[in-house]
Amino acid sequence: MTYLPTSEHDELRAVVRELAEERIAPRAAEIDRRGEFPWDLKELLARQDLLGACFEERHGGTGLDEIAQVILAEEVARVDATTSLIPIVQKLGSLPITLAGTDEQKARYFPPLASGEWLIAFGLTEAAAGSDVAANRMRARRDGDAYVLNGSKRFITHGSIANVLTVFALTDPEVGGRQGMSAFIVETDTPGFSSPRLEHKLGIRGSPTAELQFDDVRVPLENRLGEEGEGFKIAMQTLDRSRLGIAAQAVGIAQGALDAAIGYAGQREQFGQRIGDFQGIQFMLADMASQTEAARQLTYAAAARVEVRAADLPYWTSAAKLIAGDNAMRVTSDAVQIFGGYGYITEYPVERMMRDAKITQLYEGTQQIQRLVIGRQLLQRAGVRDRVRAGSAAGA
Amino acid sequence: MKIVVCVKQVPATTAEKRYTPDKRLDRTSAESVINPLDEYAIEQALRLQEAGTVESVAYLSMGPEQAAEALRRALAMGGDEAYLVTDVALAGADAWATARVLAAALDKLAPDVALMGMASDDAKGSLVPGAVAAIRGLPLLSYGSELRLEDSVARIRRLNATGYDIIEAPLPVVASVTDQVGEPRYASLKGIMAAKRKHLETWSLGDLGIDADDLHGATLTRVMEVRPPEAKAPTERIENVPADEAATRIADWLAARKLL
């Protein structure tokens, strides 16, 4: 199995990097400070066809392969984690449709998403159901040719600005979340839907994280994804693939912090010499660089498994997200250390990168959930029958 | 109507440049880009095509084989087809030789407008547009901040000391534009993908009916010396002094150099 980037991948990286450095990087500090969604950059990414990366050409997308999609997220996250979430969440939200949607559903929803005219969000997590996805409470009651949705969701990235959502709700509460949950496509202009509140966050501050409220929201029958009761499976299959985007984001954040630290070490003078000439700083940079490269290569390896729909892809994507997320946290913290006091103030970008990095250890499954996924995959490989009921899940 | 935009591949400004023993830029050693000033000419041509004034936009470059990359980048921004004149005999061609080759290629392509950037980022001679116009016996509309095409007339607006000159000439013309035409677009992903399928043709000197010896005989420029720019004087720092004293010292420094 080959997962070396091709010359086309290199070309994509060059194109996205130029755009990111010239147009996104100069906005990053302001987006963070104001905590406002960068609509201008969403338009820019749409105009450059970069929001259509995960959609097939017949739906107006560009149908990039998985490694190319990783490179796209990585290069945007290198300058701004908030903006990188625009393509990442466009994929996360639409994956349930990609995996379980009908041709009609895809033909209806993918073109406006591929063009970037519409945004989508993934509505799974609830206040009391994060890692424990099966503990979801939201209801979907069948009523004639529709389902009526009631309940609320929390921590939904882009939930307040999306035109459409993929939402998970119990159609059969008697049997619980694993067998009784179903997935739906909900247009956010449907009566009864509202987004009453946004979270105030440590990082990715320009990306709205919303609470969603559903009061008798009528969803037509044809907007159910898959069969009744398949919701849990669809959610898990989605997260098995979408985690790759978070690994990519984490690699990008780490690379951005590393690049900033190298630049600073080459210019800051103390004790009469550049701090980069101190071996202590060189050792730090060497660790940051080689560990980021390791995270990147593991992420590409995982992307190659997702591309060919390998049976053990959950193992690979969880491992990539675990390694890349922890690396991003460590590398951004070390970058702040290299900057010293200047790293701690908003005049330089590394404190923002450190705050942004933390989320990659939390969302789309905490690092602890990734370990559970990896552990279960290991036992499965060894032929040990799965008896673990709890903790197979991963909140988004 | 048809525009041919002449595009040159140049080393990136940030690239480290090396020279061959015969004082030529080693173009294989440096990271290369489209001449940034040519991107404005591309943008101008594409805007005219989008407005429906121009039916087809083609690109023409002269350079080593790798200059095809610059043409692909141009095609990714838009336009229809591209032509590269490449020939070992062209190594070290000066502005006059370049103009002769481009003029011959333009005779073959016969556009209504041969459009160029105002200069190249490496040689900065600004000679080629005028030379091409002279060789082809066509009007030259140079340094336009905007190009307009109406019926059989080309018109440019050129910034002067007090305002604008409006200069027009009957088609066909050779024209060059400045960075005033507006920000060049970024190539979109679909543009990049589409560019791979667009027609890119390579011509040799023979294809243009040019004799290499004849071209060499006509080379007018000789490079006498190549050297890096002088290093700047070290920065003078005023640190750890009260603000009023720092201000006085800065003022004295400027006054000593008659800058105040």
pLDDT score of A2: 58
Task: Give a yes or no: residue B47 inside a domain.
Answer: yes
Q: What is the pLDDT of residues A53-97, one digit of tens each?
A: 999 999 999 999 999 999 999 999 999 999 999 999 999 999 999
Q: Do A19 and B189 touch (CB under 8 A)?
A: no
List, in sequence order, every residue forming a beta bridge with B251; answer none if it has no partner. none
Q: Indicate the helix (H) or strand (E) that contains B41.
A: helix B36-50
- B187 inside 8 A of chain A by CB: yes
- B186 inside 8 A of chain A by CB: yes
Measure the CA–CA gap between B120 and B125, rounded to whole angstroms. Answer: 7
Across the interface, which of A11, A48, A64 has its CB nearest the CB of B188?
A48
Task: Give a yes or no: residue B226 inside a domain.
Answer: no
Which CATH number characterizes residue B26's domain? 3.40.50.620
Buried b (16+ CB within 10 A) or exposed e, A107-132: ebbbbbbbbbebbbbbbbbbeebbbb
Q: What is the pLDDT of residues A179-227, one digit of tens each?
A: 999 999 999 999 999 999 999 999 999 999 999 999 999 999 999 999 9
- Is pLDDT at B48 greater than 60 in this prediction? yes
Minimal-distance CA residue of chain B relative to A45: B188
Domain residues for B96? 2-218
Task: Give a yes or no: residue B235 inside a domain.
Answer: no
Q: What is the pLDDT of residues B178-236, one digit of tens each?
A: 999 999 999 999 999 999 999 999 999 999 999 988 887 777 888 888 887 787 777 88
Task: Give a yes or no: residue B12 inside a domain.
Answer: yes
ipTM reported for the complex, 2 dp = 0.79
Task: Give a yes or no: residue B224 inside a domain.
Answer: no
- B13 inside 8 A of chain A by CB: no
Residue of B32, B33, B188 to mutate, interface with A, max A Cβ within 10 Å: B188
**Per-block mean pLDDT, blocks of 10 residues, chain A (396 long):** 77 94 97 97 96 97 96 98 98 98 98 98 96 94 97 98 98 94 98 97 97 98 98 97 98 98 96 96 98 97 95 97 98 98 96 98 96 94 69 45
Residue B191: its chain A contacts at CB < 8 A? 49
CB atoms within 10 A of CB A87: 28
Residue B192: its chain A contacts at CB < 8 A? 11-12, 15
Higher-confidence residue of B28 and B37: namely B37
CB half-sphere exposure, A53, CA atoms < 13 A: 28
Residue B75: its chain A contacts at CB < 8 A? none
Total number of domains in chain B? 1
Task: Give a yes or no: residue B214 inside a domain.
Answer: yes
Residue with tokens 């040719």: A145
pLDDT score of B214: 83
Across the interface, which of B186, B190, B193 has its CB nearest the CB of A19?
B186
- B147 inside 8 A of chain A by CB: no
pLDDT band for position B7 (cuts 50, 70, 90): very high
Lowest mean pLDDT across A300-314, B19-33, B52-66, B172-186: B19-33
What is the rounded average pLDDT of the residues B156-172? Answer: 94
Residue B189: its chain A contacts at CB < 8 A? 12, 15, 48-50, 52-53, 62, 64
Task: Give a yes or no: residue B243 inside a domain.
Answer: no
Is-catalytic flag, A126? no
pLDDT score of A390: 44
Write the DSSP symbol of residue B19.
B
- B208 inside 8 A of chain A by CB: no
Task: Give a yes or no: residue B147 inside a domain.
Answer: yes
Measure the CA–CA gap between B212 and A185, rounded to whole angstroms. Answer: 68
Residue with tokens 């991003």: A328
